[in-house]
Amino acid sequence: MTSAATWNVGIDVGGTFTDIAAVNGGDGRMEVLKLPSSPSDPAQAMLEGLSRLAERIGVTGAAFTRVAHGTTVATNALIQGRGARLAIVTTRGFRDVLEIGRQTRPLMFDFHTDSPPPLVPRDRRIEVDERILADGSIHREPTEDEIARVVEAVASSGADACAVCLIHSYRNPDHEARIGAALQARIPNLFLSLSHEVHPEFREFERFSTTSINGFVQPEMAGYLARLRAGLKANGCGAEIGINQSSGGLMPLSRAAQLPVRTTLSGPAAGIVGVLETLGDSSVGNFITLDMGGTSADVSLVRGFKPTFTSEREIEGRPVKVSSIDINAVGAGGGSIAWIDTDGLMKVGPQSAGAVPGPACYGKGGDRPTVSDANLVLGRLPAVLIDGEMRLDEKAAAAAIGGLAADLGLPMQETALGIIEIVNATMVRAIRQISVERGIDPEGFDLVAFGGAGPLHGAEVARALGIRRVIVPARPGLLCAQGLLNAPLREDYVVAVGKRLDPAGMDALSDGIAALAAKSAAWFRSLEGEGAVAYFADLRFVGQNYELRVEVETPTDEARLRAAFVARHRQMYGHADADASIEIVALRAEAILPLDGGQWHPAPSAHGEPESVGKRAVVFDARGNIEAAIYRREAIGPGDRIEGPAVIEQTDSTVLVGPGDRLSADDRGNLVMEVA
């Protein structure tokens, strides 16, 4: 049980800022902190932030009893190519799976763009003479001499990490386990990724890719986590540390070091958890999230307060198959750089100025025009951020935008508006991909805008999509960190089924549920807690190539499962053959162990009509400067209403209310904007 003297901490490390939220376990008091990230070592900004927070609160590091952390270390290591010297062991004849892939071009109509090169060069892809068949039976057993030969080949390759990916090991992991044990015995310091532990599902290319990515980023993640643990210990903090997964649940440090591929959407997933905790009755439950930070914008669609999950995604053109909240990320953030392409047209992003040197207005040496510079030039951003801790350089921003304007032959104000319009169009396109392109009309949804820059752009993005309500949470720029405070521990299990939906298939499904229930129970016991398990089946019509995930009630029967799949298929594709044969591809279990993170008080106290703290000229569109009222967020209480044009400033973000837009505050501390 958390005592009044202890604090639960959530830390989200972004490309530009590191956000920290801490809640007192006794009185629910929340303290927040926002500081620039340290790209060379993300742990540095985290440790500095915790020290500053402890000093502000008046406690020692020992008061922080639990730390939940959203990280981009694994993703950045893959994107930047800072990974292991990786070897791969695979079944004879499958050495080139990573190169062959699906034999498709990355872009159908682009003959010049190639798939990314394999993470493992051919001379470090080592074949082993063994074979397991699709039903799990052993066709060819590897001899001890053969295993010894393979182990020596890995040792002599100089690899510091190895992925073992054998054909059909998801059915029978015996050979992978034997090779893994031999590698560990011979090379104790080798980072090892076994495909039946990383991704025990069929489709060789995706399994090989996911396991290779896991192995490639393992050393970077393990080193980072070790530095983080040592730094916390040096500060007197012995907190339990949980790393957020792409699925929105925490895992221990040891598990994160073993399976870093599960953290590829760590931070954005925490934002969805934060939204679900803070919205309440502010929304009917159908909404689209827009999390715009300094480097990227992440969008996701939620129906009935239930996020959409997927296991199909790519990072830098490489398939990654892990359970994750379905989030579409695009290079559209406050630090996104505006540039002129060879066709003479202006583009914005995906390159970002990041935290160092940052946008020109940060005054850290950046001189290229960014979205933040454009917002400052247009009067949308205040001259100081983070309650005065960060002063923006208006002259540097004007110089950066002015230089681009001169190259384009346009006025500076028109150029700045163009930057905003382009980055907004990028986010609109990302939202259309998760809504319109899936047969969903976004007009029936709310837009929840958060992140440091989301509330600045939310109304304009909503207007372009026909969305009429924008909801801004109480602490939009710290919502990902806030979402980590009550994130549960989570473990995902999967078992391949590969049977028709018939009596024999239902027997196999029942056996799978029993097996996964036993694994989940053992996991709960290891954590000395009690949680809940949800089961899902991946189903498809026989002959289809892709599956749909359907929740499996326990106990279940064939008719109920068929009806659920047919309804889901009809919802997704507009049609379904209720009598066609169905295949059970896989069974999944989600084991959730809730944690008591302490409850904070999100709503401010009620007070009278909000008073503006001043006015300034703001450019909303081509009409030019319009005088807008400036408000402080903490002065806006439940029931208060504001009509645009207005700018609302707070510690972690800025809310832009356009001419004709109307905004009110609800009892949960959220701002609800009616878009004109």
* CATH code where residue 120 lies: 3.40.50
Per residue in 118-155, pLDDT tens? 999 999 999 999 999 999 999 999 999 999 999 999 99
Supply the range of the domain harboring residue 575. Answer: 489-517+531-587
Distances (CA, A) of 627 to 384, 634, 644, 645, 656: 19, 22, 10, 7, 13
Considering the domain architecture, whether residues 65 and 160 belong to the same structural domain is answered as no
Considering the domain architecture, whether residues 100 and 29 belong to the same structural domain is answered as no
Q: Is the dihedral of CA 421, 427, 433, 439 positive or negative?
A: negative
Asked if residue 465 belongs to a domain, the reply is no
**Edge-to-edge strand list for the sheet holding 646-649:** 614-619, 625-632, 646-649, 654-657
The pLDDT value recorded for residue 550 is: 94
Residue 568 has pLDDT above 70, yes or no: yes
pLDDT bracket for residue 314 (50, 70, 90): confident
Which of 338, 341, 324 lies closest to 374 in space, CA to CA? 338
Asked if residue 385 belongs to a domain, the reply is no
Asked if residue 302 belongs to a domain, the reply is no
Give dist(CA 479, CA 278) in Å, integer. 9
The two structure tokens encoding residue 629:
């009222």
Q: What is the CATH number of the domain that holds 25?
A: 3.30.420.40
The pLDDT value recorded for residue 387 is: 77
pLDDT bracket for residue 556 (50, 70, 90): confident
Considering the domain architecture, whether residues 233 and 198 belong to the same structural domain is answered as no
Residue 385 burial (CB count, 10 A): 24
Distances (CA, A) of 261 to 23, 157, 476, 490, 569: 29, 24, 27, 15, 29
The pLDDT value recorded for residue 168 is: 96
Asked if residue 437 belongs to a domain, the reply is no
Give dist(CA 336, CA 352) in Å, integer. 4
Residue 106 has pLDDT above 90, yes or no: no
Considering the domain architecture, whether residues 94 and 213 belong to the same structural domain is answered as yes
The pLDDT value recorded for residue 571 is: 85
Considering the domain architecture, whether residues 103 and 127 belong to the same structural domain is answered as yes
Give dist(CA 258, CA 215) in Å, integer. 9
Considering the domain architecture, whether residues 169 and 148 belong to the same structural domain is answered as yes
Asked if residue 229 belongs to a domain, the reply is yes
Phi, psi of 375, deg, nearest 5:
-65, -35
Considering the domain architecture, whether residues 120 and 68 belong to the same structural domain is answered as no
Last residue of a domain, one of 234, 263, 292: 263
Asked if residue 357 belongs to a domain, the reply is no
Q: Is the dihedral of CA 545, 550, 556, 562 positive or negative?
A: negative
Per residue in 349-401, pLDDT tens? 988 998 889 999 999 999 999 999 999 999 999 998 887 788 999 999 999 99
Considering the domain architecture, whether residues 226 and 160 belong to the same structural domain is answered as no
Which of 330, 404, 409 lies closest to 368 in space, CA to CA? 404
Non-local CB neighbours of 577 within 8 Å, separated by 6+ positions: 541, 566
Give dist(CA 266, CA 217) in Å, integer. 15
Per residue in 404-418, pLDDT tens? 999 999 999 999 999
Last residue of a domain, one of 198, 232, 263: 263
Structurally, the chain folds into a number of domains equal to 3
- Helices 454-465 and 412-434 cross at an angle (nearest 10°) of 70
CB 415 within 8 A of CB 409: no
Considering the domain architecture, whether residues 195 and 92 belong to the same structural domain is answered as yes
Per residue in 2-60, pLDDT tens? 445 789 999 999 878 899 999 988 888 889 999 888 888 889 999 999 999 999 999 99
Average pLDDT, the chain: 92
Query: Of 643 and 596, which is predicted with more confidence?
Result: 643
Q: Is the dihedral of CA 314, 317, 319, 320 positive or negative?
A: negative
pLDDT (mean) for 628-647? 93
- Residue bearing tokens 């994107």: 79
pLDDT (mean) for 415-429? 97
Asked if residue 175 belongs to a domain, the reply is yes
On the question of a cis peptide bond just before residue 645, with omega within 30 degrees of 0, the verdict is yes
Last residue of a domain, one of 157, 183, 217: 217
Residue 275 burial (CB count, 10 A): 26
Asked if residue 560 belongs to a domain, the reply is yes
pLDDT (mean) for 557-573? 93
Considering the domain architecture, whether residues 24 and 48 belong to the same structural domain is answered as yes
316: alpha, beta or left? (left if phi > 0; alpha if psi -120 to 50): left
CB 462 within 8 A of CB 470: yes
Considering the domain architecture, whether residues 209 and 106 belong to the same structural domain is answered as yes
CB 363 within 8 A of CB 391: yes
pLDDT bracket for residue 240 (50, 70, 90): confident
- Residue bearing tokens 């951020």: 385
Give dist(CA 26, CA 600) in Å, integer. 10
The pLDDT value recorded for residue 2 is: 42
- Residue bearing tokens 């401010």: 604
Per residue in 169-208, pLDDT tens? 999 999 999 999 999 999 999 999 999 999 999 999 999 9
The pLDDT value recorded for residue 27 is: 81
Give dist(CA 408, CA 415) in Å, integer. 8
Considering the domain architecture, whether residues 37 and 106 belong to the same structural domain is answered as no
